């Protein structure tokens, strides 16, 4: 009985104590930041927050989810910029609903660790928020351009995410994934970059980071090769020269790393299935011989795609395929000797491709 | 020393009661005098007049009776036929019999009486159960007369082991109770314990259900019902065969069941009338509805006041937009609307049916719509509270539903104080409380917390009837086998 009384006495105290640091804010009394842009210019960081004003809110915007507004803060660090942003804004802001973090090119070159550090210490941040690099632009300008073009930026970014998921099995550019990748000392961090176009935004490929600083952008095909090797490709079109187009419907990539006499050999084994999507030739492509030729042609096509990130990695000496972890995991005893010299060894890694594929029939309307 | 039976003393006792009759009658043939003692309105006076008194006046054999003893023997033998005829010498018992509606012939010289059970009073006919109506199932329900209720049960359980023990509670009301169980199935320790609890009840009057319920439950402070009631004889019969103990109280149009566990309260007779997939789906729906009704208002408060990141972006934006011009905080809105909802329910119950419907429309639709239009409430709060309210009505047991309504308030207040953290603490306390409840040696959350998997076949999901091979272990320690498998072996 005494214990019960004690519990009932302690509980409110505990409740009040624990809620002391909790922000009790009505949802209509705060601005929900949907997109956060981080830039670096003239030795200062700037943080731009895009939020929706809501119906009949402070700005007196229209009905529905309201119009999007941008607020900016500047400071010596990204955190200081955010705090200044909070001071500048009429209402309190929350980053809890932010679904996208856009990092301007200059900020990315300065280092993503400096841009993202203040976010990883915020318990309200969504771990699955997506991180993008803005190519050749400041994130603020990118957002402003979107507003000028009357785009609903957070919805357009959501559309990009959905489109990505149509092609890939998962989005690897989530905030938590990027933070994990940043912990890998020997591999490059890859973050998708965005281009602003009049019709909307476009995701072209990956931005490559070395020592957490932006160094390069991969073109589309090289980025596709990365996706194949990462085994996240869901669907991919193949255009063969002999007027046949196919679409990859299933793919499975396995990587194997072996160390032999200081030589690292990485075997990339890809199994995939395709479906005929377009046949413009009058030849019967479904004959056994033709199918065999098509299969070989599509294998060659995919090998070419795979070869692009591999060659990039070898030429630039950057581990964009996250091979360090693979070699470490599969060759634990050898890793200790390789570890210290990994950056120099990347250029000497040997690659072997084992590509197997199958063409499946697709649905045909009509007689043919 | 007990008082002796005497017509004058009885007359004196009830001198101020106009409905109690003590009327002397002298038989012309023999000169024997006796008194009729009864309560007007409780007896079938036609039967007394025609079948007993008239027959006695014209009976030629009576001339041979010269003493009251002889006359009594004659009556008890063949003089007045009746199923229930009893010679009574105890004064207190006689008073009890007569006040319960029997008629007594008082014989002063012998200081004894003969009692005839010719009770007849106005009673409601058996109708469809109002609270537990089913589409596919029997349509009869209990009435306010205990004996009819016990008969309805016996009609369904024709076992010679069905015991209907008669008990009485209330120093003044002397309300009849029947403790009903199947002697070779029920746990006799539980039966004895319930009997002891009933006999220990020392109250004047058993007028409302709480007067007996509170004496039979072990944790009186709990909001969760620990005694189940049912209006349906088929449900009581099914639970009796499962080893539970029923308690019928004269004047109550339902029968109690003990021991009671939470899963029982979430079951409906309809579950067993439908295909087991349908029954399971309905049962799952009820549990989901229970979670919605308990937590949805609290979740809304916590999400809109503390942890808005719990809401998907679009929902957060539309919630924000809907709340823009509302002057009240989310917690005030929800708690206020919950209170208004309870007021509407209470008002609807007290008003006549026709006005009640009009008031529900006025209160629910007109006032609700007007409040939203006037920016007093946000539309989302109306949706949340309505959804929680409607979900609460899916819970089949009214007592549980009422308990949940109170807990819903508490959780909403806790969420308003501490957000999801407070809600989590509230949930922990709720679960701890439910786990701590014990009902006649059976855990309240049984069979969820039982190790024996045979008990789990009628909980969240309703398995096919052929799977119900054993009775719940905690309720029936012995004689657990309900049915054998296809090979005739016990499962």
Do A65 and A211 lie in one domain? The reply is yes
Highest mean pLDDT among A1-10, A50-59, B62-71, B289-298: B289-298
Do A191 and A293 lie in one domain? The reply is no
Is the Cβ–Cβ distance between B263 and B461 less than 8 Å? no
Q: Specify if A31 maps to a domain.
A: yes
Q: Rounded to an integer, what distance in angstroms lies between the CA atom of residue A108 and that of residue A45?
A: 11
Do A206 and A326 lie in one domain? The reply is no
Strand partners, A132: A102
Q: Give the model's pLDDT for residue A113.
A: 93
Q: Rounded to an integer, what distance in angstroms lies between the CA atom of residue A72 and that of residue A140?
A: 8
Do A210 and A85 lie in one domain? The reply is yes
Do A187 and A257 lie in one domain? The reply is no
pLDDT tens string A223-282:
999 999 999 999 999 998 778 899 999 999 999 999 987 789 999 999 999 998 888 887
Q: Is the pLDDT of residue B307 over 90?
A: no
Do A307 and A328 lie in one domain? The reply is yes
Q: What is the mean pLDDT of residues A19-30?
A: 74
Sign of CA dihedral A11, A17, A23, A26: positive
Q: Rounded to an integer, what distance in angstroms lies between the CA atom of residue A269 and that of residue A254?
A: 5
Q: Give the model's pLDDT for residue A60.
A: 37
Q: Give the model's pLDDT for residue B467.
A: 84
Do A91 and A190 lie in one domain? The reply is yes
Q: Distance from CA of residue B83 to its chain's centroid?
A: 30
Question: Which residue matches tokens 């809110």?
Answer: A57
Q: DSSP assignment of B133-201, as one string? A: --SSS------S-HHHHHHHHHHH---TTEEEEEEEE-TTT-EEEEEEEETTTS-HHHHHHHHHHHHH-
In terms of residue numbers, what domain contains A235? Answer: 220-359
Do A172 and A264 lie in one domain? The reply is no
Do A228 and A143 lie in one domain? The reply is no
Q: Which of A11, A24, A28 to mutate against chain B (most B CBs within 10 Å)?
A: A28
Q: Give the model's pLDDT for residue B309.
A: 82
Q: Where are the alpha helices (DSSP H) in A288-330?
A: 288-316, 323-330
| Cα–Cα–Cα angle for A102, A104, A110, rounded to 5 degrees | 120
Q: Rounded to an integer, what distance in angstroms lies between the CA atom of residue A131 and that of residue A178?
A: 8
Per the CB < 8 Å rule, is B324 touching A32? no
Last residue of a domain, which of A191, A217, A243? A217
> What does R_g of chain A's alpha carbons equal in angstroms?
25
Per the CB < 8 Å rule, is B323 touching A96? no
Is the Cβ–Cβ distance between B84 and B52 less than 8 Å? no
Is the Cβ–Cβ distance between A40 and A107 less than 8 Å? yes
Do A290 and A316 lie in one domain? The reply is yes
Is the Cβ–Cβ distance between A273 and A248 less than 8 Å? yes
Is the Cβ–Cβ distance between B167 and B247 less than 8 Å? no
Last residue of a domain, which of A217, A246, A277? A217
How big is the A-B interface in CB pairs under 8 Å? 91
Max intra-chain CA distance, chain A = 90
B414: chain A residues, CB-CB within 8 Å: 15
Q: Specify if A9 maps to a domain.
A: no
Q: Is the pLDDT of residue B491 over 70?
A: no
- Both structure tokens of B25: 């009658």
Nearest CA-CA distance, residue A54 and chain B, Å: 5
* pTM for the structure as a whole: 0.80
pLDDT tens string B17-49:
888 999 998 877 778 889 999 998 888 888 888
Q: Which residues contact A7 (CB under 8 A, 6 or more apart)?
A: none
Q: What percent of chain A has pLDDT over 70?
A: 89
Per the CB < 8 Å rule, is B321 touching A54? yes
Q: Specify if A365 maps to a domain.
A: no
Last residue of a domain, which of A217, A240, A274? A217
Q: Specify if A13 maps to a domain.
A: no
Nearest CA-CA distance, residue A10 and chain B, Å: 12
Q: Is the pLDDT of residue A189 over 80?
A: yes
Q: Where are the alpha helices (DSSP H) in B328-397?
A: 330-350, 353-360, 368-373, 379-394
A55: chain B residues, CB-CB within 8 Å: 321-322, 324
Q: Which of B321, B422, B425 sits opposite A64 (nearest CB)?
A: B321
Q: Specify if A248 maps to a domain.
A: yes
pLDDT tens string B476-487:
878 888 877 655
Q: Specify if A368 maps to a domain.
A: no
Q: Specify if A367 maps to a domain.
A: no
Q: Rounded to an integer, what distance in angstroms lies between the CA atom of residue B387 and that of residue B366?
A: 17
Question: Which residue matches tokens 């995410």?
Answer: A161
- Both structure tokens of A10: 């302690």
Question: Looking at chain A, which residue has its C-alpha nearest residue B378?
Answer: A28
CA atoms within 13 Å, Cβ hemisphere of B262: 23
Total structural domains within chain A: 2
Q: Which of A52, A56, A97 sits opposite B325 (nearest CB)?
A: A56
Q: Specify if A1 maps to a domain.
A: no
B315: chain A residues, CB-CB within 8 Å: none
Least confident interval from A141-155, A208-222, A353-367, B98-112:
A353-367
DSSP β-ladder status, A130-134 and A100-104 = parallel
- Both structure tokens of A14: 């505990």
| CATH number of the domain within which A339 lies | 3.30.300.210
Do A49 and A181 lie in one domain? The reply is yes
Do A194 and A276 lie in one domain? The reply is no
Q: Rounded to an integer, what distance in angstroms lies between the CA atom of residue B137 and that of residue B132?
A: 10
Tell which residue, B310, B263, B275, B306, has the closest CA to residue B416: B306
pLDDT tens string B72-109:
888 887 767 677 788 888 998 899 889 888 899 999 98
């Amino acid at each position: 009985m005494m214990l019960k009384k004690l519990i009932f006495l302690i509980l409110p105290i505990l409740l009040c104590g624990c809620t002391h640091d909790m922000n009790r804010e009505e949802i209509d009394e705060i601005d929900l930041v949907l997109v956060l842009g981080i830039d670096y210019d003239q030795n200062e960081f700037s943080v731009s927050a895009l939020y929706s004003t809501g119906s009949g809110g402070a700005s007196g915007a229209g009905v529905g989810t309201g119009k999007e507004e941008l607020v900016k803060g500047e400071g010596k660090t990204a955190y200081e910029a955010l705090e200044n942003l909070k001071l500048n804004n009429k209402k309190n802001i929350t980053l809890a609903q932010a679904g996208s973090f856009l990092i301007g090119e200059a900020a990315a070159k300065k280092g993503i660790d400096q841009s993202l550090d203040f976010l990883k210490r915020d318990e309200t941040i969504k771990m699955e928020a997506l991180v993008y690099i803005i190519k050749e632009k400041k994130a603020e300008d990118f957002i402003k351009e979107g507003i000028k073009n009357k785009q609903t930026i957070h919805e357009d970014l959501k559309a990009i995410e959905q489109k990505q998921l149509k092609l890939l099995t998962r989005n690897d550019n989530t905030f938590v994934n990027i933070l994990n990748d940043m912990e890998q000392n020997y591999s490059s961090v890859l973050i998708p970059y965005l281009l602003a176009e009049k019709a909307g935004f476009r995701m072209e490929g990956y931005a490559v980071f070395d020592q957490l600083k932006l160094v390069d952008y991969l073109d589309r095909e090289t980025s596709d090769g990365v996706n194949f090797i990462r085994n996240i490709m869901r669907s991919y079109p193949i255009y063969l020269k002999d007027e046949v187009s196919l679409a990859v419907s299933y793919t499975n990539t396995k990587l194997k790393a072996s160390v032999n006499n200081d030589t690292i050999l990485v075997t990339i084994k890809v199994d995939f299935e395709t479906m005929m999507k377009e046949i413009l030739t009058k030849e019967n492509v479904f004959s056994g011989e033709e199918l065999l030729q098509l299969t070989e042609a599509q294998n060659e096509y995919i090998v070419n795609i795979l070869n692009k990130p591999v060659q990039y990695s070898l030429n630039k000496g950057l581990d964009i395929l996250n091979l360090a972890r693979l070699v470490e995991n599969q060759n634990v005893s050898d890793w200790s000797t390789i570890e210290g010299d990994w950056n120099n060894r990347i250029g000497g890694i040997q690659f072997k491709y084992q590509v197997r594929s199958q063409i499946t029939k697709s649905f045909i309307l009509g007689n043919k | 020393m007990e008082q002796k039976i005497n017509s004058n003393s009885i007359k004196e006792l009830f001198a101020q009661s106009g409905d109690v009759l003590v009327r002397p009658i002298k038989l012309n043939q023999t000169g024997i005098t006796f008194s009729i003692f009864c309560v007007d309105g409780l007896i079938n006076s036609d039967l007394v007049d025609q079948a007993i008194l008239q027959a006695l006046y014209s009976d030629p054999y009576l001339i041979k009776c010269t003493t009251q003893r002889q006359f009594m023997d004659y009556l008890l033998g063949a003089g007045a036929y009746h199923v229930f005829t009893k010679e009574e010498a105890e004064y207190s018992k006689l008073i009890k019999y007569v006040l319960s509606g029997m008629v007594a012939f008082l014989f002063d010289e012998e200081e004894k009486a003969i009692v005839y059970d010719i009770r007849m009073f106005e009673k409601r006919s058996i109708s469809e159960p109002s609270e537990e109506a089913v589409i596919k199932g029997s349509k009869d329900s209990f009435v306010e007369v205990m004996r009819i209720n016990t008969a309805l049960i016996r009609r369904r359980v024709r076992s010679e082991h069905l015991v209907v023990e008669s008990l009485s509670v209330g120093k003044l009301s002397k309300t009849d109770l029947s403790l009903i169980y199947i002697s070779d199935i029920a746990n006799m320790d539980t039966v004895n314990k319930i009997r002891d609890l009933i006999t220990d009840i020392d109250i004047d009057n058993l007028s409302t259900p709480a007067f007996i319920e509170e004496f039979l439950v072990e944790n009186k402070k709990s909001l969760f019902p620990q005694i189940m009631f049912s209006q349906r004889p088929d449900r009581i019969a099914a639970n009796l065969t499962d080893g539970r103990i029923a308690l019928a109280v004269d004047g109550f149009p339902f029968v109690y069941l003990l021991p009671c566990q939470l899963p029982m309260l979430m079951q409906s007779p309809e579950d067993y009338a439908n295909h087991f997939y349908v029954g399971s789906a309905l049962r799952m729906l009820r549990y989901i509805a229970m979670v919605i009704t308990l937590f949805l208002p609290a979740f809304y408060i916590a999400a809109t006041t503390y942890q808005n990141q719990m809401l998907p972006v679009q929902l957060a934006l539309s919630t924000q937009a809907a709340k823009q011009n509302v002057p009240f905080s989310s917690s005030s809105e929800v708690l206020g609307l919950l209170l208004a909802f309870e007021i509407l329910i209470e008002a609807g119950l007290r008003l006549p049916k026709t006005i009640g419907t009009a008031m529900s429309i006025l209160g629910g639709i007109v006032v609700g719509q007007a409040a939203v239009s006037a920016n007093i409430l946000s539309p989302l709060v109306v949706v949340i509270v309505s959804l929680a309210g409607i979900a609460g009505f899916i819970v089949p047991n009214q007592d549980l539903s009422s308990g949940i309504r109170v807990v819903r308030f508490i959780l909403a207040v806790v969420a308003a104080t501490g957000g999801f953290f407070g809600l989590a603490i509230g949930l922990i306390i709720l679960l701890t409380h439910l786990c701590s409840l014990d009902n006649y040696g059976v855990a309240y959350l049984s069979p969820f917390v039982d190790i024996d998997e045979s008990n789990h076949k009628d909980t969240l999901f309703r398995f096919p009837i052929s799977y119900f091979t054993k009775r719940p272990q905690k309720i029936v320690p012995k004689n657990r086998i309900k049915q054998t498998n296809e090979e005739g072996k016990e499962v």
